[in-house]
Amino acid sequence: MIVFLTREAEHDLRRIGDWIAQDSPRRAETFVDELVEACRKLAHSPLAFPLVSGHERTGVRRRSYRSYLIFYCVGDERVEVLHVIHGARDYETILFPDSD
């Protein structure tokens, strides 16, 4: 199974790197690499992490890495990473803007 990062996920990773780089450019680079590796590891056991509570019908799953949440969907041949978001953010409005 392959792992595909959406444009949104790539944008999230750039923003995370930019934020961390304000204090430590070197750590920003290594931390983003760690997040990307956490995404890649989803290929080995994509169903190991839970569906997002309250939104199970969407098929969106969530895994954590440190203070960040990786949101993804599992297809027949690939894992699609939708977003990488800090756990303190209101992820539901980002992932499910039309939900009530």
User: Distance between alpha carbon 2 and the CA centroid of its chain, in Å?
Assistant: 15
Residue 46's nearest CA partner among 10, 5, 2 is 2
What is the number of other CB atoms lying within 10 angstroms of the CB of residue 17? 18
Residues near 1 by Cβ (< 8 Å), separated by ≥ 6? 43, 46, 77, 78, 79
The three-state secondary structure class of 83 is strand
pLDDT in single tens digits along all 100 residues of the chain = 999 999 999 999 999 999 999 999 999 999 999 999 999 999 999 999 999 999 999 999 999 999 999 999 999 999 999 999 999 999 999 999 887 5
SS3 88: coil
Domains, the chain, with CATH or none: 2-95 (3.30.2310.20)
Q: β-pairing, 2-5 with 61-65?
A: unpaired
